[in-house]
């Protein structure tokens, strides 16, 4: 399916070359010794397309600046003032108490490896001449950021067509890395794909950041994810015993779990009466439909269950989970912040989304960070007892997060009179309000400079606002709220509580938080908690809501938009028959596949979103495939990567599965006869 380097010595050589560029050797005379001591960061961010690469660049910039503040004792006042107007930087500086030079330094952020990729030959120029590239030594100093220059395969983007982005990614990932003119690519490929999960590559979490509405990001991201999963799953079936020599001793393919997640930016559905580009909705719908079909095959499709390698390898999905973040976050944040949305420019709105995503990545990274990710003196200087933390490792996330995921987030400052030893005095934390703000519509917290709220609305905004108002009015009674499919059909939640190092969360507050989670998510099979101490100067709550977000209004709207435009037969493309039929397919006891067959063509038609001749474009790209990949047996036609009617059926089956999710409460089973009065009391 994809090119994978099998020679372990070549992989190790490529990894060493990447490691040397990521961790430049200060003392060349002691290079071998230095190389042995350096581990790759436990986390890697892969930003794809313009949107994804910008966000990954933002995150890298934030952690780079936080590191500088920490290491330089926050004395660079000029740099602080120059970056004061940048919203995400303001949030992180206030969150980390960086503005007060006398404050005890509460945190040293981990630094992820960052890979930026775009089907645009000018990606390096765009980054180098951006504000971040010109205003500081960031690009030169942040050696953990690498640009994937793929312009020799294609230099002009994907033209807002995900199928072209996917096809170009398939060319890139099928071509022998030794045949690339860009020598850095084979090193990056060995890190991202060939070596994932082995001892020589210590990275265990990979986050793919991309926009679902574009062509490059949404097309490339899932293909890169599938190539990584293919290489990783191949290792589990590879039972060869590799002969170890001095070069590879101890670095053989030792199986280690990895966790991969897509961070998917969904387009606005509606925006103050302005009709959004239909192509954005169709592109996003294609990505969601493709992902649900792959997730169905991987997680639920065991009708003809086989455990053979070929069966499993053809049922892989690109990521363990896909986190969904709506572009509407900026709009809601502006609406609730004294209005005035007409006065905010596009770049400012994009920064809101980037900030929200940066916050979530930051919290997930700190929840699983291992001590080797931090500065060796950090814990000693910060006075943190690492034994008090409850962290999530890659395997925890692997087991807890699968399928579509939404995020709920809020944070609060430390209660003014609370202290580490005696919390009975002063103002206590309002855990009810913190939890409510995390599930509220996205809004801007002026005190903490954070964007809070839920990343994807369960239902239409005005109805959700009204339901939330009733929730508060009824004393946080979740009876009405937990009847929404978004909460009722949620299979698992992961909650990450981040505390300043001198603040102790009370037993009552923790119980109150668990009570809120239990009442809002009545049918969760699994609830996981992480407690992070010392990673922030504020108290924050992140809740990851698993699988049920695919039943939200926005998610269904985007999928149906794609199916109607690219699959539906003529008489179903423009009326509401297919809309209603889709709801019936999900709700009804039996899935009427024959009815779906009458409404849809067998394959998607990419020409429906392109204002040009698709049949003239197709041979141009296929010729490129033949020219770049000389093995005729590996040729793939664009027709072969079209989504099929079966893909739509699998996506619907996944939606049906989540729609019917429920649990039975545990009951006490006893061989001892009990008096009826005791039984009644127990009830």
State both tokens at 303.
């009708």
Q: Which among 24, 27, 111 is positioned nearest to 70, based on CA atoms?
A: 111
Q: What is the DSSP string of 324-382?
A: EEETHHHHHHHHTTTS-GGGS-HHHHHHHHHHHHHHHHHHHHHHH--GGGS-TTHHHHH
Listed ranges 107-121, 327-341, 448-462, 479-493; the one with the highest mean pLDDT: 479-493
Q: E-assigned strands of 562-682?
A: none
If 0-12 CB within 10 Å is exposed, 13-18 middle and 19+ buried, where does residue 336 land?
middle
Query: Is the pLDDT reported for residue 555 higher than 90?
Result: yes
Whole-number Cα distances in Å, 186 to 13, 24, 155, 198, 224: 10, 19, 19, 17, 14
Q: How far apart are alpha carbons 327 and 339 in whole angstroms? A: 17
Handedness of CA 457, 458, 462, 465 (dihedral sign): negative
Task: Inform me whether the pLDDT recorded for 275 exceeds 60.
Answer: no
Q: Are 50 and 214 in contact (CB under 8 A)?
A: yes
The maximal CA–CA distance of the chain, rounded, in angstroms, is 82
**Which of 524 and 377 is assigned the larger pLDDT?**
524
Helices (H), 238-277: none
Q: How many helices (DSSP H) and strands (DSSP E) are in the chain?
A: 27, 12
Distance set, CA 140 to CA 77, 143, 210, 647 (Å): 21, 7, 24, 45
pLDDT confidence of residue 423: 42
pLDDT at 304: 55
Cβ-proximal residues to 273 (8 Å cutoff; 6+ apart), any chain: none
Positive or negative torsion for Cα 555, 556, 557, 562: positive
**Would you state the pLDDT for residue 606?**
82
- Residue 520 has what pLDDT? 93
pLDDT, tens only, 30-68: 655 555 557 888 888 898 887 888 788 877 776 776 666
Beta bridge partners of 117: 48, 148
Q: Which residues pair with 453 in a beta bridge?
A: 409
Q: Which residue has the higher pLDDT, 147 or 384?
A: 147
Q: Is the pLDDT of residue 564 over 50?
A: yes
197 vs 236 pLDDT, higher one: 197
- CA distance linking residue 612 with residue 623, whole number of Å: 19
d(CA 156, CA 216): 10
At 346 the pLDDT is 56
Place of tokens 């966790």: 259
299-303, 337-341, 428-432: least confidently modelled range: 337-341
Residues 6 or more apart in contact with residue 305 via CB below 8 angstroms? none
Say which residue, 568 or 500, is predicted with more confidence: 568
CB 195 within 8 A of CB 650: no
- Residue-wise pLDDT tens digits, 217-250: 888 899 999 999 998 888 777 666 555 555 555 5
Q: Which of 8-17, 196-205, 452-461, 603-612 has the lowest mean pLDDT?
A: 603-612
Residue 287, pLDDT > 70, answer yes
pLDDT band for position 198 (50/70/90)? confident
**Contact in structure between 543 and 530 (CB atoms under 8 Å):** no
Lowest mean pLDDT among 78-87, 108-117, 533-542: 78-87
Average per-residue pLDDT in the chain? 77
Q: Is 1 helix (H, G, I), strand (E, B) or coil?
A: coil
Q: Do residues 171 and 625 touch, judged by C-beta distance below 8 A? A: yes
| Phi, psi for residue 634 in degrees, rounded to 5 | -95, 5
Nearest to 542 by CA among 528, 553, 525: 528
Q: Tell me which range, 245-259, 323-337, 363-377, is most confidently predicted by mean pLDDT.
A: 323-337
- H or E element that contains 406: strand 403-412
Q: What is the DSSP letter of 672?
A: S
**Residue 488's pLDDT band (cuts 50, 70, 90):** very high
Exposed / middle / buried, residue 662 (Cβ in 10 Å: 0-12, 13-18, 19+)? exposed
Q: State the Cα–Cα distance between residues 615 and 625, nearest whole angstrom.
A: 16
Token pair in block for residue 112: 């992820």
State yes or no: pLDDT of 575 exceeds 70: yes
Confidence of residue 73 (pLDDT cuts 50, 70, 90): very low
Alpha-carbon distance 48 to 332, whole Å? 26
pLDDT > 90 in the chain, percent: 23
Task: List the beta strands (DSSP E) in 185-243.
Answer: 205-211
pLDDT value of residue 458:
92
CB atoms within 10 A of CB 122: 12
Phi-psi category of residue 49: left, alpha or beta, with phi > 0 → left and psi -120 to 50 → alpha: left
As a whole number, mean pLDDT of residues 629-643 equals 85
Burial (CB count within 10 angstroms: exposed 0-12, middle 13-18, buried 19+), residue 112: buried
Residue 315 has pLDDT above 50, yes or no: yes
- Higher-confidence position of 616 and 360: 616
Q: What pLDDT was estimated at residue 528?
A: 83
Phi and psi of 528, rounded to 5°?
-120, 145
Question: If we measure between CA atoms, which residue out of 255, 205, 264 comes closest to residue 231?
Answer: 255
Q: What is the pLDDT of residue 39?
A: 82
**What is the enclosing helix (H) or strand (E) of 47?**
strand 43-48
Residue 3: pLDDT band with limits 50, 70, 90: confident
What pLDDT was estimated at residue 347?
61
Q: What is the pLDDT of residue 97?
A: 47
Could you tell me if 591 and 656 are in contact, meaning their C-beta atoms sit under 8 angstroms apart? Answer: yes
- Average pLDDT on 442-470 reads 87
**How many C-beta neighbours within 10 Å does residue 465 have?**
15
154, pLDDT greater than 50: yes
Residue 96 binned pLDDT confidence (cut-offs 50, 70, 90): very low
Q: Does the pLDDT of residue 109 top 60, yes or no?
A: no
**Contact at 8 Å (CB) between 194 and 220?**
no
Backbone angles phi, psi at 330, to 5 degrees: -65, -40
E runs forming strands in 212-329: 259-266, 321-326
Least confident stretch, 216-225, 307-316, 466-475 = 307-316
DSSP string, 438-464: HHSSPEEETTTTEEEEESS-SS-HHHH
Tell me: pLDDT of 100 over 50: no
């Amino acid at each position: 399916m994809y090119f994978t380097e099998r020679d372990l010595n070549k992989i190790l050589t490529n990894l060493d070359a990447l490691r040397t560029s990521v961790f430049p050797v200060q003392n060349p005379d002691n290079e071998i010794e230095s190389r042995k001591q350096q581990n790759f960061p436990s986390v890697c961010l892969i930003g794809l397309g313009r949107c994804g690469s910008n966000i990954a660049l933002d995150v890298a910039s934030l952690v780079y600046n936080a590191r500088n503040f920490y290491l330089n004792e926050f004395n660079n006042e000029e740099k602080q003032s120059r970056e004061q107007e940048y919203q995400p930087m303001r949030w992180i500086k206030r969150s980390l108490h960086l503005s007060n030079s006398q404050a005890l330094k509460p945190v040293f952020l981990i630094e992820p490896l960052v890979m930026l990729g775009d089907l645009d030959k000018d990606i390096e120029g765009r980054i180098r001449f951006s504000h971040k590239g010109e205003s500081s030594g960031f690009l030169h100093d942040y050696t953990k950021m690498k640009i994937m220059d793929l312009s020799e395969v294609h230099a002009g983007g994907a033209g807002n067509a995900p199928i072209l982005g996917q096809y170009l990614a398939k060319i890139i990932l099928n071509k022998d890395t030794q045949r690339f003119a860009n020598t850095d690519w084979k090193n990056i490929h060995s890190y991202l794909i060939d070596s994932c999960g082995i001892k020589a590559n210590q990275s265990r979490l990979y986050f793919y950041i991309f926009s679902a509405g574009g062509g490059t990001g949404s097309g490339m991201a899932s293909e890169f994810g599938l190539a990584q999963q293919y290489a990783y799953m191949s290792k589990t079936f590879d039972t060869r015993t590799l002969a170890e020599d001095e070069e590879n001793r101890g670095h053989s393919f030792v199986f280690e779990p990895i966790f991969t997640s897509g961070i998917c930016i969904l387009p606005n559905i509606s925006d103050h009466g302005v009709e959004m580009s239909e192509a954005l909705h169709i592109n996003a719908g294609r990505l969601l439909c493709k992902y649900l079909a792959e997730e169905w095959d991987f997680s639920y499709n065991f009708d003809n269950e086989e455990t053979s390698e070929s069966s499993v390898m053809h049922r892989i999905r690109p990521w363990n989970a896909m986190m969904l973040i709506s572009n509407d976050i900026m709009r809601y944040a502006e609406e609730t912040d004294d209005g005035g949305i007409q006065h905010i420019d596009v770049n400012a709105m994009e920064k809101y989304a980037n900030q929200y995503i940066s916050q979530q990545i930051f919290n997930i990274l700190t929840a699983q960070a291992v001590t080797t990710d931090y500065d060796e003196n950090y814990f000693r200087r910060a006075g943190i007892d690492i034994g008090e933390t409850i962290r999530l490792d890659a395997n925890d996330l692997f087991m807890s997060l699968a399928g579509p995921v939404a995020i709920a987030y809020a944070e609060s400052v430390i209660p003014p009179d609370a202290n580490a030893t005696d919390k009975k005095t002063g103002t206590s934390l309002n855990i009810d309000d913190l939890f409510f703000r995390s599930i509220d519509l996205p809004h801007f917290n002026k005190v903490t400079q954070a964007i809070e709220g839920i990343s994807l609305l369960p239902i239409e905004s005005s109805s959700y606002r009204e339901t939330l108002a009733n929730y508060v009015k009824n004393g946080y009674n979740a009876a009405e709220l937990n009847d929404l499919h978004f909460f009722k059909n949620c299979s698992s939640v992961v909650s990450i509580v981040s505390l300043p190092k001198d603040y102790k969360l009370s037993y009552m507050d923790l119980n109150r938080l668990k009570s809120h989670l239990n009442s809002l998510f009545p049918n969760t099979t699994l609830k996981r908690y992480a407690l992070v101490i010392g990673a922030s100067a504020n108290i924050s709550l992140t809740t990851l809501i698993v699988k049920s977000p695919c039943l939200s209004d926005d998610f269904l709207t985007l999928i149906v938009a794609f199916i109607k435009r690219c699959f539906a037969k003529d008489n179903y493309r423009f009326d509401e028959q297919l809309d209603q039929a889709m709801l019936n397919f999900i709700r009804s006891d039996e899935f009427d596949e024959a009815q779906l067959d009458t409404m849809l063509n067998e394959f998607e038609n990419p020409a429906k979103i392109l204002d040009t001749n698709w049949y003239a474009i197709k041979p141009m790209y296929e010729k490129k495939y033949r020219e770049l990949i000389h093995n005729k047996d590996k040729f793939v036609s664009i027709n072969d990567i079209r989504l099929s009617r079966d893909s739509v059926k699998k996506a619907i089956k996944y939606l049906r599965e989540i729609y019917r999710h429920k649990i039975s409460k545990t009951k006490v089973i006893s061989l001892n006869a009990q008096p009826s009065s005791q039984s009644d009391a127990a009830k």
